[in-house]
Amino acid sequence: KRDRTLWIGGMFPQAGEWAGGEACFPAALKALNEVNRRIDVLPGYYLNLSAYDTRCSPGLGTTILYELLYNKTFGTNNSILMLLGPACSPVSTAVGEAAKMWNLIVLSYGSSSPALSNRVRFATFFRTHPPATLHNPTRIKFFQLFNWKRIAILIQTEEVWQSTAEHLEQLARENNIHVAVRQLFDNDPSHAISNLKKDDIRIIVGLFYEEKARKVFCKAYQQNYFGEGYVWWTIGWYADNWFLKVNDIDCTEEEMAKAVEGHFTTEIQMLTDSTQETISDITPQLFIADLNSTLRELFPYKPVESVGGYVEAPLAYDATWALALALNRSLTRTDLEKWSYDNLQMKNIMMEDMENTQFFGVSGFVKFDKQGNRMSKIVVEQLRNGVYHRIARFDAQTGIIEWLRKEEKDGKRCWNYKNNSSIER
């Protein structure tokens, strides 16, 4: 019986730079429904979500935070116990920095900016979406495996990429890998690429968004800086066939296919491969099947994969569960109905309970580190004849690589599929 209500706030972008809320809001609601059906989670209470669309805008997100804090939730005099979201990093940066002033815990499901790991600025911030810096240990692991001591980093001037590059340089130094060249570019990468060529760089880590990736590889093609002997590492979450959308560059599809052939990508694994039942007693596969059918109803004219935030939906589902489980622990230690934004003692209890929350979710094992970050596995893919193949999965916490192409069990051969021994530099 749930005759008492606890309130949480929610921020889900339905438009803007990244409309991740399109799929993440339905996923969060699914988890919330399951939580409210379970008699062992928040017994006696109904967890109510007051959710808003931030349109991925920091300004709008800030006004929504104000609404949630002051205009009470739908006329009740309840304060929200925690905030689920925001998704976009710029919104999390604005809201996350302000929220600590009200002792409000923020649990994002979609923010990748490394800056958000700063525990001084974002004292009450947690996320089930790992920071972009999580790709770096995997890059270093592969450089060590193939004895590459000399690399370059090509960086688009965006905070997320510059802070990722700094972290990568620090890891490289610690593993005596030499970052010979670090090239920044804003819009046109031509000059940066000619510098890489001049320095005879062979291993390049590219940190840029998809639209700039097309420019980079088109310019690389035009400067004949591609093919065997060069190993590019870029980002794995670009749209499929991103390199064939040539209407914003002056290269043909054939030229682009040549330029990008053989490159490697890293991306965070957001849906576990496991088939075991999760905290919500359903398997990850059943979760996805159920989400797909809901999204087909909500977005009948879109393939589910192109619904905003589809890939991150498991992170939103697990964030909702993490929040409910943390509150469930706090309920045994304090009277959450007496929560108010100046209650430091209760905030400390909720912080501790969030820090100690861990469970197996649809995105894999969920546990937060001291910066409020959740760690995940990283998947390495390689583009071969225009098709991405999953090569390996790496867990930075255990240092274990799983080779995913049995015929290349040691992974070594995955380089030599073009016999380009010249890259052993």
Ligand X SMILES: CC1(C)CO[C@@H](CC(=O)O)CN1
Binding site for ligand X (CB under 6 A): 18, 20, 88-89, 110-113, 237, 312
Report the Cα–Cα distance between both ends of the chain, in Å, rounded: 66
Count Cβ neighbours within 10 Å for each residue of 227-266 and write b for 16 or more, e otherwise. eeebbbbbbbebeeebbeeeeebebeeebbbebbbbbbbb
Which residue's CB is nearer to ligand X, number 115 or number 181? 115
Q: CA 400, CA 394: separation in Å to the nearest integer?
A: 6
Which residue's CB is nearer to ligand X, number 88 or number 325? 88
CB 337 to ligand X: min, Å: 34
CB 335 to ligand X: min, Å: 36
CB 196 to ligand X: min, Å: 25
Which residue's CB is nearer to ligand X, number 53 or number 312? 312
Q: Are strands 178-185 and 203-207 parallel, antiparallel or unpaired?
A: unpaired
Query: DSSP string of 54-99?
Result: -TT-HHHHHHHHHHHHHSTGGGS-PPPSEEE---SHHHHHHHHHHH
CB 409 to ligand X: min, Å: 29
CB 341 to ligand X: min, Å: 26
Q: Are strands 203-207 and 358-361 parallel, antiparallel or unpaired?
A: unpaired
Which residue's CB is nearer to ligand X, number 20 or number 189? 20
Specify the amino acid at residue 172: A
Which residue's CB is nearer to ligand X, number 73 or number 89? 89
Cβ atoms 359, 322 nearer than 8 A: yes
Q: CA 44, CA 1: separation in Å to the nearest integer?
A: 6
Which residue's CB is nearer to ligand X, number 34 or number 267? 267
H helices present in 187-281, as ranges:
190-198, 210-222, 253-260
Which residue's CB is nearer to ligand X, number 113 or number 124? 113
Q: CA 335, CA 330: separation in Å to the nearest integer?
A: 8
Q: Give Cβ neighbours of residue 84 (< 8 Å, ≥ 6 apart).
A: 8, 9, 10, 11, 28, 49, 51, 107, 109, 316, 319, 320, 323
CB 235 to ligand X: min, Å: 8
Rg (CA), the chain: 23
Which residue's CB is nearer to ligand X, number 79 or number 156? 156
Which residue's CB is nearer to ligand X, number 111 or number 280? 111
Which residue's CB is nearer to ligand X, number 7 or number 317? 317
CB 351 to ligand X: min, Å: 23
How many beta carbons lie within 10 A of that of residue 187, not counting itself?
A: 8
CB 312 to ligand X: min, Å: 5
Tell me: cis bond preceding 86? Omega within 30 of 0 counts: yes
Chain position carrying tokens 């398997």: 283
8-state DSSP, 16: S
H helices present in 100-155, as ranges:
135-145
CB 258 to ligand X: min, Å: 27
CB 383 to ligand X: min, Å: 18
